[in-house]
């Protein structure tokens, strides 16, 4: 089960609306390398994971991704809330506006609605953890591209925080993968001395 804490993991306080940034930051909400996909990927994979460390890591990083989803949603909302129609039109956001006004809808930067086709849950611990290492790197790269496009420190600071978390998650998944590999290599037999009659 889950419980909700009525605070963000890291503050989002954006003074100036900017639909141009909202249009691309939305990709970390509902895009192929976004937080929704990340949460769904880890929280689905955990059911078939092995070793307590790797199971806990999937469960808990999956949960943190939900807090990141909330932060990204807060960013998109604050960037859109006070934007004028003219600004929205100039930012090339008319199509989004027609479908969602200034609401937050899970889609990629190019407008493709969220799809689980971009994530995998393979039932194989090595496959899943290896996928997750790549996923964290893809998300890190996305945050870097977003930071490259941003010039408002109110926007850059939370993006930097989220980027940093991808780096930490990558590290934790690397450790989990090593733990699972070591576990799979251990002989799971109770060794006993061979009785003499078997040596004859």
Partner 1 sequence: MKNENERFDLLKRLTAARFMVEDLHLYLDTHPNDREAIAKFNSYLMQTKKLRESYEKSYGMLTAHDSFSQYPWQWINEPWPWDYEANFELNRGEN
64 annotated to a ligand binding site: no
Q: How is 86-105 classified by DSSP, letter by letter?
A: HHHHHTT-HHHHHHHTTS--
Is residue 68 part of an annotated ligand binding site?
A: yes
R_g over Cα of the chain: 22
Give the residue among 119, 121, 90 at the shortest CA–CA distance from 23. Answer: 90
Residue 43's closest CA among 60, 68, 30, 27? 60
- The nearest distance, CB 163 to partner 1, in angstroms, is 14
To which residue do tokens 């999956």 refer?
Answer: 62
Q: Are 73 and 34 in contact (CB under 8 A)?
A: no
Q: Which residues bind partner 1 (CB under 8 A)?
A: 3-15, 52-53, 56-57, 60-61, 64, 70, 73-74, 77-78, 81, 153, 157, 168-169, 172, 175-176, 179
Distance between CA atoms of 165 and 156, rounded to whole angstroms? 14
Q: Please, which residue, 26 or 118, has the CB nearer to partner 1?
A: 26
**Cβ proximity to partner 1, 7 vs 198, nearer residue:** 7
| 188 marked among binding-site residues | no
Cβ–Cβ < 8 Å for 22, 99: no
CB of 6 to partner 1, least distance (A): 5
Q: Is 5 annotated as a binding residue?
A: no
Minimal distance, residue 104 CB to partner 1, in Å: 9
CB of 186 to partner 1, least distance (A): 17
> Measured from the CB atom, is 38 or 118 closer to partner 1?
38
Q: Is 169 annotated as a binding residue?
A: yes
CA 179 from chain centre, in angstroms, equals: 22
What are the binding residues for Mn(2+)? 35, 65, 68, 136, 169
What are the binding residues? 35, 60, 65, 68, 136, 169
């Amino acid at each position: 089960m889950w419980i909700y804490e009525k605070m963000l993991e890291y503050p989002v306080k954006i003074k100036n609306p900017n639909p141009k940034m909202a249009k691309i930051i939305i990709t970390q909400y509902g895009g192929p390398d976004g937080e929704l996909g990340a949460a769904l990927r880890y929280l689905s994979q955990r059911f078939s994971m092995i070793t307590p460390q790797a199971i806990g890591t999937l469960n808990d990083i999956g949960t943190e991704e939900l807090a990141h989803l909330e932060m990204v949603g807060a960013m998109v909302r604050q960037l859109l809330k006070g934007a004028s129609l003219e600004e929205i039109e100039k930012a090339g956001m008319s199509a989004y506006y027609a479908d969602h006004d200034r609401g937050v809808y899970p889609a990629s930067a190019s407008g493709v609605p969220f799809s689980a086709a971009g994530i995998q849950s393979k039932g194989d611990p090595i496959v899943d953890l290896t996928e997750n290492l790549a996923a964290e790197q893809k998300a890190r790269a996305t945050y870097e591209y977003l930071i490259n496009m941003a010039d408002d420190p109110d926007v850059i600071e939370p993006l930097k925080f989220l980027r940093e978390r991808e780096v930490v998650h990558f590290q934790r998944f690397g450790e989990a993968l090593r733990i699972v590999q070591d576990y799979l290599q251990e002989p799971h037999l109770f060794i006993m001395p061979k009785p003499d009659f078997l040596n004859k």
